[in-house]
Structure 1
Amino acid sequence: MNLISKICGAAAVALSLFGTAASAGTIEDIRARGVLRIPAILNEVPYYNKDPRSGEWQGFVIDMANDVAKSLNVKLEIVESSWANAILDVQSGKVDMAFAVTATPVRAMSVSFSAPTYYNSFVLVSSKKELDGKSWNELNDPKYTFAVDMGSAQDLITQQFLPKANVLRFKTRDEAIVAVSTGKADALVNTMLNGLVIAKRATTIGSVKVPTPVLSTPSVIALNYKADETFKSFVSAWAEYNRRIGNNQTWILKSLEPFGISLTDMPPGFGFGG
């Protein structure tokens, strides 16, 4: 083989490898691999929960992902991760998609979003009656102190709607919960889904309160920008179909049952379907 042939051959291999990398995130790739990969986070009920004895993962995200995998005729593979790393896992191609992602403009610069899987609202969790029926504008006052987990979607909400209030930012949600439970903060700012579970698990923290106007945000599936349009279209169609016919809400409510939470525990008119 002469030098030109070797160079052409090497170029062909390089192009082939580049093409494989660029096509990562296609239905064909996933079916050839035989597994759909998603990130999952330990002890993040009702999203994810891993049984320490059996090693089995549970939670509504797992139910949703299993249904996607079933549609593709592949198995589900769990990659243990964290909320902070889930987007990076999608970007790097370590996983095929990440569920329960709050669609923010900043995140949209890193990954593609599917159609909404469900809608979540921002709430307060507090035992203080004086916060009942308050608007975000009324809460935006230095006399109130709120706790929030740093860098979260609810942290962004406090920056936008509660800039005048005193906001304590913590590295973890548990630290923020302790701040409210011990009286260091008047209320926890979080999402409806988390708020309902927190109020049931930490009974001293109080109840869920919904400030007006109701701030609702779509929860989406994050996909790699390099994923092809067929795959993106399929994932959005899956999300839209299951949200509209109520499957996604059913999976969410199933994951809330162990905490004694049902639709009757939610504020009037609230639903995860948007």
Structure 2
Amino acid sequence: MTDSSKKIPSFIRSASVLALGTLLFTAGCTAPESPTEDSNVETQESASRLTSITDSGKLKVCTTGDYRPFTYLDPKTKEWSGIDIDMAKNLAKSLEVEAEFVQTTWKDLMPDFTSKCDIAVGGVSISLERSQQAYYSEATLDEGKTPITLCENVDKYDTIKEINQPGVRSITPIGGTNEKFADANYPKGEIIRFKDNNKIFDEIIAGRADVMTTDASETRWVAHEHPELCAVHPDKPFNFSQKAYLLPLGDDQFQEYVNQWLNMSKHDGTLKAAEKPWFG
């Protein structure tokens, strides 16, 4: 110990050591600075699907491929077509990426969408059940269930009461809202449950069924394809429903982008151009 240290009272030396220790401890325990507003914005933006889509260069689109005029996968050529197929491609183009289609089924639509895709399209109806697991875009179409039959029989099957009669053969695909509607509204009639939705209308033309009740948009497309068949009051359907696109739950930024794109598409002719080959 030096002479100078001997001159410093012991209580001062102890206080100095204590102060230095306290200072070092305080510096080590200082809370990190709160994130700035800019960093919060950056985190929110990176969480949006918009970022992962542009980074990957792909918009992954879930669709069933069995519901014309909205979505169809040709079993021979493996080519996709349909109103919503064209619209999905246009959405991808607006993001400067490629659309990649992922085939699913109506049964597996929701789990496939939440695990594999950025968006789901193809005549998807809005329902409260689906709304618990996904966002929706703005409605792409307002419609409802309406009959289609041979043109000569339009006046015979233009009300639920007329169709709900013994001897009237209502054909419907197995599963889905068409079968549910037939079961609920035509208990007195004969319900024919048919497996192949792509060939179901041939049964009416061949005389093996009298009428089918389905979405008004589908009846318009079928009437355009088959002159023998007529859509029965498609502008005044039996009930009300809407179609839209499924979007990731909680992603407000992506939903806002899709809604803005959809609004512009409805007014600049994009949607009408996609519909024209199917509705005429």
- TM-score, normalised to structure 1's length? 0.70
Taking the aligned partners of 1:194 and 1:212, their CA distance within structure 2 comes to 12
Taking the aligned partners of 1:169 and 1:38, their CA distance within structure 2 comes to 30
Any residues of structure 2 matched to 1:77-156 within 5 Å, and which?
A: 77-92=100-115, 94-99=116-121, 100-127=123-150, 129-132=152-155, 134-156=158-180
Taking the aligned partners of 2:185 and 2:234, their CA distance within structure 1 comes to 11
Residue from 195, 201, 209 that aligns with 1:177: 201
**Alignment match, 2:262:** 239
**Alignment match, 1:189:** 213
Structure 1 residue matching 2:219: 3-state secondary structure: helix
Taking the aligned partners of 1:73 and 1:211, their CA distance within structure 2 comes to 37
**Alignment match, 1:220:** 244
Contact 2:219/2:234, CA 8 A, preserved across alignment? no
Contact 2:216/2:235, CA 8 A, preserved across alignment? no
Contact 1:41/1:48, CA 8 A, preserved across alignment? yes
The 1:25/1:185 distance shift into structure 2, 3 A limit, reads farther
Contact 2:65/2:80, CA 8 A, preserved across alignment? no
Structure 2 residue matching 1:79: 3-state secondary structure: strand
The 1:249/1:60 distance shift into structure 2, 3 A limit, reads same
Contact 1:115/1:237, CA 8 A, preserved across alignment? no
Amino acid of the residue matched to residue 58 of structure 1? Answer: S
Task: Please provide the CA RMSD for this pair.
Answer: 3.2
Taking the aligned partners of 2:243 and 2:61, their CA distance within structure 1 comes to 16
- Within the alignment, does 1:157 sit opposite 2:181 as a pair? yes
* 1:187 Cα deviation after fit: 0.6
* 1:228 Cα deviation after fit: 1.4
- Within the alignment, does 1:64 sit opposite 2:87 as a pair? yes
Structure 2 residue matching 1:173: 3-state secondary structure: coil
Taking the aligned partners of 2:82 and 2:114, their CA distance within structure 1 comes to 24
Deviations 1:129-175 (A, max 9, x none): 44427223443333422111122232333244434433222233145
Structure 2 residue matching 1:66: 3-state secondary structure: helix
Contact 2:61/2:120, CA 8 A, preserved across alignment? yes
Which has the larger Rg? 2
The 1:125/1:85 distance shift into structure 2, 3 A limit, reads same
* 1:232 Cα deviation after fit: 1.9
* 1:44 Cα deviation after fit: 4.8
Contact 1:196/1:208, CA 8 A, preserved across alignment? yes
Taking the aligned partners of 1:142 and 1:119, their CA distance within structure 2 comes to 32
Gaps of 5+ in 2: 1-42
Report the count of equivalent residues: 233
**Alignment match, 1:230:** 253
* 1:69 Cα deviation after fit: 1.3
- Within the alignment, does 1:166 sit opposite 2:186 as a pair? no
- Within the alignment, does 1:36 sit opposite 2:59 as a pair? yes
Taking the aligned partners of 1:107 and 1:35, their CA distance within structure 2 comes to 24
